[in-house]
Amino acid sequence: MALPVQAGPSEDQHQLRQYYQRLFPQLQLQDYGNGVYAIDVIARSSWLAIEEFPPYQPALEQGQVLFGTAFNNGRHYGDCFERRGIGIAHYYPRWDSQKGAVVTLAQAVNNCRIANRELPLDIFKGSMAELLAYMVFTSRGQPISVVIPDNDPRALLAYQQGKAFYYQRRGQLNFACATCHVQNAGKKLRSEILSAALGHTNSWPTYRLKWGEMGTLQRRFNECLAQIKAPVFPSSSIESNNLEYFLAYMGNGVNITGPSVRK
């Protein structure tokens, strides 16, 4: 199932949800915020047991400390965001009309640091993942609410570029993102069941058992690209940001569940 090339965002969203409703009639919209654990009943029981003492808890606590620590000039992260950065993660990524580009939450954090004469953070892990864990946690239970402005054709173009990336085959294995998460969602790849694309942005940053640490969504993007032997993208690339924009819009209405644990 591929979304029509010329379809608009709302039509894309409707068609994708109808597809998954036919594929997984037992699932409700909010179930998709749990990723593959909404599909794999056996893995779900192990995941729920892990969540009783979540391994992301230290990162979450450290993120709260980092968020509240002043920069060298005395200002704070909260000074850069509306609502002082609390309970806003579900509105990201956002279209910035002045920059003419998609801005992810990680990028907004780094923009804040740069504006306060601090060095940017690695957006893939470490302190960035900890900061995002805290900011995302303050939006837990809130529905993804990503907007594509009607009055700015550049925003629609960014969305369409993210969509095109998702369905374009690449790498030596000739896979697209949709090959796994749309066409083969619910099927096994080696020993793992493949998750659905719907709700894919809702649980990040995530403590991946494979990594043994917290990581961000764009780190996962690059890992997938490397696995299919395709070029990876640099920090906050246009391609990665637009892909995140497309995926987040597809997940509108699914509640934030991050930070979380994944295999």
Which pLDDT tens digit goes with each residue over 120-172? 999 999 999 999 999 999 999 999 999 999 999 999 999 999 999 999 999 99
Q: How far is CA 114 from the centre of its chain?
A: 23
252: domain CATH number is 1.10.760.10
Which pLDDT tens digit goes with each residue over 29-66? 999 999 999 998 888 989 999 999 999 999 999 999 99
Q: Which domain holds residue 37?
A: 1-263
Rounded Cα gap, residues 235 and 171, in angstroms: 20
Which pLDDT tens digit goes with each residue over 212-223? 999 999 999 999
Residues 170 and 230 sit within 8 Å (Cβ to Cβ): yes
What residues does 214 pair with on adjacent strands?
207
Does the structure show a pLDDT above 90 at 236? no
Structure-token pair, residue 229: 């032997």
Which pLDDT tens digit goes with each residue over 66-83? 999 999 999 999 999 999
Q: Is 121 exposed, middle or buried (0-12, 13-18, 19+ CB in 10 A)?
A: buried
pLDDT at residue number 117: 98
Residues 152 and 95 sit within 8 Å (Cβ to Cβ): yes
> Which residues carry out catalysis?
224
Residue scoring higher pLDDT (205 or 43): 205
Q: How many domains does the chain have?
A: 1
